[in-house]
Structures are given as C-alpha cells and as structure tokens.
C-alpha cells in the first residue's frame, strides 16, 4: 500500500496556507479600513464637525448669535440620527475644500453644487437638494434688461461670490460682461446697490429675497425663473466608502419621510424665519 512521503504532506500544508492566507490577512485590513473611516471617528469622538459658509438662507446667524438656516437644520438632524453632537465651523467659501482635505472638519454641508472639477478633489453624496442660478439687477443701470443677452456686453459689470458656481455660469452665459468677484454675497450685492455693478448672479432664493428687500433699487430681470439647475450634495474626503454609504442612505430615508422637502419649503418658500435674524 502507498504511504505518502513527508514531502507530500509538506506540499499539502503549503497549498493550504497559500489559499487561506488572503482570508486571514483580509480580516485585519478590513478592520483597519473601518477604523480609518470618518464615520467611525465621528462616532468615537461623539461629534460631527461641519464645514460651511454663511449664505442666506442656507446658513446665517440669528439674533442670539447662533447659526440657523436650512443647512444648519440638515446638519443638526444628521448629527442627531448619528447619535452625536454637531460642531459648526464657518469657513470662507474660497478655502472650504482645502480645509476639508486638511481635516479641519469631517464634512461640508453648505449648499455645494456637485461639479466635475470639485469631484476630482472630494467625493459627493447623491443630491439632497437642487438649486438654480438667478440674477438680481439694478433698476437704474439695468433698466429695460429682460434677458441674459442684455447683460452679455463688455460695458456691463456682473458681481458674484468667489469660488461659487455662479462664476462659471457667468462665464458661460455672459462671457462678454466684466466680472467682479468678492468674498461674500453681501459685498457682491453692495456693488449693485451702490451702482458699481449692473447685476449679481447667485443661487436662489438670495436674488429673490434681495429684490423684495430692496424693491426700490433692485429687480429680477428674468422674473422668478432660474436659468440653471444644480444638484447639491454633501462633500467628504476621498477613500471613505463607509461614510458615503451612510450619508447616501440617510438622504434617501429623510427624503422619503418628506423631512427634507418640509425644511426646504420653510427656508426657501417663506419668510417666516426672517424675524429670527438680527
């Protein structure tokens, strides 16, 4: 009868180890990836650090100095559902993506449009909202203007906020106009109010609110219609599928509940919140 040699057993043992090693090694690697996830770090820390930039009515300060707005509501609900507390970190829009990448905060919840160039640096969730661009104009300088073509002239000056999607929109639809950029909406709007710019391009409902607030000086040359449609998503650092998966599912659930729509209508289709501001 044939008796296997010791070499036979050695070969069988080697084959077994070769086949099972990847499975054994995969366990600690999977554990390392999970522990490295921003989601896991947030849960262990008990705090979700939220980067945003002030922009009415997305995020702003109320009479008490606390932050309020649509994005603040969204961030608070997200943190609540994670069982952690939100920490709000206001950041200039022009530096908000670099601040995310350097770990200043965990997530950007700030009305950020999903754009291919941005997506090269950060990962986006599925859209939780859609926005659109509009233009608010000076009744004096832009009298009679009724279309984007009216603004597409070298003699026309358009203001906008640095780093926002208003910038490529202006360059696309009004390439001949002179573009002036500012760090925030208030500065860009001021250019129109004092007569140094014909109009300002921004996401709705900011232009509509300003046309109501300054109805003697400003108007909406395109009416209430927007001329773009832009998906808005949360932005996180790359290489974190667990965090993206959780955020995407959170958006699906809260949208199905009707909560996102209810909060959106409150902040964007009414002025019931205006008396809370300074």
Residue 18: the pLDDT is: 60
Residue 147: the pLDDT is: 94
Q: Where are the alpha helices (DSSP H) in the chain?
A: 6-36, 38-45, 70-82, 96-101, 116-119, 148-151, 166-173, 185-193, 206-213, 241-257, 259-268
Question: Over the stretch 29-50, which tens digit does the pLDDT of each residue have?
Answer: 555 555 579 999 999 999 999 9
HSE, CB side, 13 Å, CA atoms: give it for residue 266.
15
CATH superfamily of 133-219: Periplasmic binding protein-like II (3.40.190.10)
Give the chain's mean pLDDT: 89
Q: CATH topology of 39-130+230-276 equal to that of 133-219?
A: yes
Question: Over the stretch 160-205, which tens digit does the pLDDT of each residue have?
Answer: 999 888 999 999 999 999 999 998 889 999 999 999 999 999 988 8
Percentage of residues of the chain with pLDDT beyond 90: 68
pTM comes to: 0.74
Residues 154-160 have a mean pLDDT of 97
Domain ranges of the chain: 39-130+230-276, 133-219
Topology, domain 39-130+230-276? D-Maltodextrin-Binding Protein; domain 2 (3.40.190)
């Amino acid at each position: 009868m044939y008796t296997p040699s010791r070499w036979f057993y050695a070969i069988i043992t080697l084959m077994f180890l070769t086949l099972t090693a990847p499975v054994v090694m995969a366990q600690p690697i999977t554990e390392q990836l999970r522990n490295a996830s921003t989601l896991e770090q947030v849960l262990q820390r008990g705090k979700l650090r939220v980067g945003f930039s002030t922009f009415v009515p997305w995020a702003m300060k109320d009479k008490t100095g606390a932050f309020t707005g649509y994005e603040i509501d969204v961030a608070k609900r997200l943190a609540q559902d994670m069982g952690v507390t939100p920490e709000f970190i206001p950041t200039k829009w022009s530096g908000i993506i670099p601040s995310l990448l350097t770990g200043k905060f965990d997530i950007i919840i700030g009305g950020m449009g999903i754009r291919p160039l941005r997506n090269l640096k950060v990962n986006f969730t599925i859209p939780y909202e859609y926005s659109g661009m509009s233009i608010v104009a000076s009744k004096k300088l832009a009298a009679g203007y009724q279309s984007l073509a009216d603004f597409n002239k070298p003699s026309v000056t358009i203001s906008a906020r640095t780093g926002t999607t208003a910038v490529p929109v202006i360059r696309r639809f009004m390439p001949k106009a002179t573009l002036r950029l500012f760090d925030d909406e208030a500065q860009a709007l001021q250019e129109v109010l004092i007569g140094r710019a014909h109009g300002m391009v921004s996401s709705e409902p900011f232009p509509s609110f300003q046309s109501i607030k300054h109805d003697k000086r400003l108007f909406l040359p395109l009416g209430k219609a927007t001329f773009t449609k832009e998906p808005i998503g949360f932005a996180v650092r790359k290489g974190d599928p667990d965090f993206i998966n959780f955020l995407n599912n959170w958006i699906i659930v809260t949208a199905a509940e009707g909560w996102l729509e209810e909060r959106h209508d409150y902040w964007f289709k009414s002025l019931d919140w205006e008396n809370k501001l300074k």
